[in-house]
Amino acid sequence: MKKRLFPPLFLILAFALCASGCSIFRRPQPPVLVDAYAPAGTVAEHVVQTAQGLIGSPYRYGGTTPRGFDCSGFVQFVFNANDIRLPRTSGEQARVGQKIARRDLRPGDILVFRIGVRSTHTGIYVADNTFIHSPSRGGRVRLDDMDQEYWDRRFLYGRRIPGIS
């Protein structure tokens, strides 16, 4: 009669998994991006850090909370969390503050993209041509590179909100 090793092996693996705090079931945390352009403690740094902390939140049309964001709901939530009130829609957000050329972007600026004929998309500039946004249905809040062909072709301008520096 052969001995089966399966039950003892299963128990050892189960114990190891529980001893490690079941870490394989935790949602991985996004890396913290070091932002050399926003001085420590500035509102811009806090805006970027708030946005980074929401990476992985799901997209939801009309969403304005970490349970689900659309692009403008995400931008509004991040700024509201830092005591800066913004309008709700991307079209309205595309008109607040000062218009900024791509070469003059700084962390915490709002980015405006043209999606389709009449639609705009907003995100938050981080540094080094990267931005955080809530992309589209089925997606999650993420960091993207503005140099990607898709975003590069659609970028319109940035908006600098008073009180961000």
Residues recognised as catalytic: 71, 121, 133
Q: What is the DSSP string of 21-88?
A: TSGGGSPPPPPPPP-SSS-TT-HHHHHHHHHHHTTTPBB-TT-EETTEE-HHHHHHHHHHHTT----S
End-to-end CA distance of the chain: 76
**How many Å apart are CA 151 and CA 142, to the nearest integer?**
13
**How many Å apart are CA 3 and CA 108, to the nearest integer?**
63
